[in-house]
Structures are given as structure tokens and as C-alpha cells.
């Protein structure tokens, strides 16, 4: 199944694409409440360009490029509508060597995350959904977790498998149930939930994978943050591959719908090297000096939610 249902949390089913003269888009119902009633916040600026593999690559620097960004009138969920179809095929072909160059600073950010996670779950079986090249799995493994990953990119899943020796399933996370019920103590989604075609279905699967006292940890950007509101349609995380733009409130509602209860919400900073930050703005500086300067970036729009199964 190349893409899954537009019904919230429904079984995967084939959708009828909206076909324009040059491209195919798919219309989307609200993933939380199923409503079709929305208002357009920001109109599409992608013109008639067909999506490329680059558009679906983590380190692509095409910021503020998107199809219509809409807000559900019933529950307030912000999402892209319509959006590209058959994106799994694009994710499958992603190769992203630029990402590997940021390994060290990303590992440092993940280590900060692991310190927080350890307060809730300091050992056990861990599943990272959308594990990409395996940076988090590598760090978690060093801390003693028994790690497993799911990753749609063939290149990234191969890299993660070689790096960690762990089981890495090369697939989209909703293609089927890959594990038995109650298999994992901990499931993580690092800046992944906004990419999913059906996050509610994914959370429903995760609920199934989790042990009774298991936890789920999710990070994403906050479309309700002051930074996002100030930037408006120029908010950089409005990108073609970001299908959903949550706030802690809307993400909590989606979790609650899937019988997951929030136990902690916090904002955090990410570390980047100065040369990487400049490269995101198209400024490429030669030499290694800027690579050694690591800057924690916190614009108040990156948040983490930790959840557990409802009793």
C-alpha cells in the first residue's frame, strides 16, 4: 500500500488522488477528529513543481515551501492539505551524506534526551521509528538499551544497521504491524511525527507495541510558539515533507485518542555547528574552524512529549 488512509486512525486504504494537469495531490481529513471543515492559514507556494527525492531528504534547505497549510475548525489541528501522494517511494530513495557530517552534535542532543528519558525508563527494549542513519540508536545502545529501528530510506536503514548491528526494518512505519504486542519498553519518534501520513494510525500501532508500563517519547516543532507566530508563512519548518504542525495541545489530543496519556512536556535546545547553521541559509564556508563551534539553538519552538498507556 503506497500510502495510507485519510480517515483518522482508519485502516490503510487507497485514496483517490486529486489530479491536476501536471501533478497529483491528495486531500486530507483531520487526523484527530476526522473533520473536513478547515480554514486556510497559508496558501500553497509550491506552484506546479512535482516533488523530488531532495524535497523528502532531512537536510534539504527548502524552508517555507509548502502546499496549503490549513487549520481544522473543529479541533485546531494544523496540517498540509492537499499534499503529495506516494511519498514512500521518495523516502525510500533518500541518500543524505550531509546529515552524517552533523553526527557529533546530533549525538550530543540525543544524549541530553537520554538523560531525560532515563528518569522514566533507564533500560529495556527500545524502538526508534524513523531512525534514519541510527545516531540515536547508537547512543541509546551505548547506554544499555536493546535497540530496534524502522526507517523508510534504504540508504539510512543500511547505515543504521551497519553502525549498530541492530534489527532495522526498512519500511514506512504504518505498512503493517511489524512486532508482537507488548514488545517494547520505550518507543521514540525524533522529529518524525510531523512527517507521517497518518500519525494516528502510527500511534495506534505503537500502543499495541508497548508493554503495559511502556512509554513513548516524541519531539516536534510547535506551530503555536511565539517564533512560529512571528514568522507566519516564513516559519522555516513549513516544509513540503512536514505534513503536520502540532502544538502540545493538539499532539496531546491525538495521543489521548490513542489511549496515551501525557506525563511530561518540555521545550529543549538543539546543538548545531556554526558552519551547518550557515549552510542552511545557503552560505558555505570552507575550513574546519566553524565545524568546531557548536551552538545550542532554542527558539522556544521545539518540544518533547513523554507519554504512557492510560491505566
Q: Which span sits near Zn ion by CB under 5 A: 72-80, 204-212, 216-224, 264-272?
A: 72-80
* Separation CA 27–CA 50 (nearest Å): 16
Taking the least distance from each CB to Zn ion, the nearer of 32 and 69 is 32
| Shortest distance, position 119 Cβ to Zn ion, whole Å | 33
Q: Assess 254 for contact with Zn ion (CB under 5 A).
A: no
Window 20-59: contact mask with Zn ion (x via CB under 5 A): ----------x-xx-x------------------------
Phi, psi of 242 (to 5 degrees): -95, 100
Taking the least distance from each CB to Zn ion, the nearer of 38 and 42 is 38
Q: CA angle 85-91-95, nearest 5°? A: 145
Binding residue (CB under 5 A) for Zn ion from 75, 253, 262, 274:
75
Burial class of residue 210, CB neighbours in 10 A (0-12, 13-18, 19+): buried
Q: What is the CA radius of gyration of the chain?
A: 19
| Shortest distance, position 33 Cβ to Zn ion, whole Å | 3
Q: Which residues pair with 190 in a beta bridge?
A: 219
271-300: contacts with Zn ion (CB under 5 A): none
Helix-then-strand count for the chain, H and E: 9, 16
127 near 188, Cβ under 8 Å?
yes
| Shortest distance, position 128 Cβ to Zn ion, whole Å | 28
| Shortest distance, position 6 Cβ to Zn ion, whole Å | 13
Q: Which span sits near Zn ion by CB under 5 A: 65-73, 200-208, 274-282, 291-299?
A: 65-73
Q: Which residues pair with 295 in a beta bridge?
A: 272
Binding residue (CB under 5 A) for Zn ion from 24, 62, 74, 291:
74
| Shortest distance, position 143 Cβ to Zn ion, whole Å | 38
Taking the least distance from each CB to Zn ion, the nearer of 35 and 64 is 35
* Separation CA 287–CA 239 (nearest Å): 30
Whole-number Cα distances in Å, 181 to 4, 10, 184, 185, 260: 21, 19, 8, 11, 16
Q: Assess 72 for contact with Zn ion (CB under 5 A).
A: yes
Whose CA is closest to 211, among 302, 127, 95? 127
Q: Assess 256 for contact with Zn ion (CB under 5 A).
A: no
| Shortest distance, position 194 Cβ to Zn ion, whole Å | 16
Taking the least distance from each CB to Zn ion, the nearer of 51 and 248 is 248
Positions touching Zn ion (CB under 5 A) are 30, 32-33, 35, 72, 74-75, 77
Amino acid at each position: 500500500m503506497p500510502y495510507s488512509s485519510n480517515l483518522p486512525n482508519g485502516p490503510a486504504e487507497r485514496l483517490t488522488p486529486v489530479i491536476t494537469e501536471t501533478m497529483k495531490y491528495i486531500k486530507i481529513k483531520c487526523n484527530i477528529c476526522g473533520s473536513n471543515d478547515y480554514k486556510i492559514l497559508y496558501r500553497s507556494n509550491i506552484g506546479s513543481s512535482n516533488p523530488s527525492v531532495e524535497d523528502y531528504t532531512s537536510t534539504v534547505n527548502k524552508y517555507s515551501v509548502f502546499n496549503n497549510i490549513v487549520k481544522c475548525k473543529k479541533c485546531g489541528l494544523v496540517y498540509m492539505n492537499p499534499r503529495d501522494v506516494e511519498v514512500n517511494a521518495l523516502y525510500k530513495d533518500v541518500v543524505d551524506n550531509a546529515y552524517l557530517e552533523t553526527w557529533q552534535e546530533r549525538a550530543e542532543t540525543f544524549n541530553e534526551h537520554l538523560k531525560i528519558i532515563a528518569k522514566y525508563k533507564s533500560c529495556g527494549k527500545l524502538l526508534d521509528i524513523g531512525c534514519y542513519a541510527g545516531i540515536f540508536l547508537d547512543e541509546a545502545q551505548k547506554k544499555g538499551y536493546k535497540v530496534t529501528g524502522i526507517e523508510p530510506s534504504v540508504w539510512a536503514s543500511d547505515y543504521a544497521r551497519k553502525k549498530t548491528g541492530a534489527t532495522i526494518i526498512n519500511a514506512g512505519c504504518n505498512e503493517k504491524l511489524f512486532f508482537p504486542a507488548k514488545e517494547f519498553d520505550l518507543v521514540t519518534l525524533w522529529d518524525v511525527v510531523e512527517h507521517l501520513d497518518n500519525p494516528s494510525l502510527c500511534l495506534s500501532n505503537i500502543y499495541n507495541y508497548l508493554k503495559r508500563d511502556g512509554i513513548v517519547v516524541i519531539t516536534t516543532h510547535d506551530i503555536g510558539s511565539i517564533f512560529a507566530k512571528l514568522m507566519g508563512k516564513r516559519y522555516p519548518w513549513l516544509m513540503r515533507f512536514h505534513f503536520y504542525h502540532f502544538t502540545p495541545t493538539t499532539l496531546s489530543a491525538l495521543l489521548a485518542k490513542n489511549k496515551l496519556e501525557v506525563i511530561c512536556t518540555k521545550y529543549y535546545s538543539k546543538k548545531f555547528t556554526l558552519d551547518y547553521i550557515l549552510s542552511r541559509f545557503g552560505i558555505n564556508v570552507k575550513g574546519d574552524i566553524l565545524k568546531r563551534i557548536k551552538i545550542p539553538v532554542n527558539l522556544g519552538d521545539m518540544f518533547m512529549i513523554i507519554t504512557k498507556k492510560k491505566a
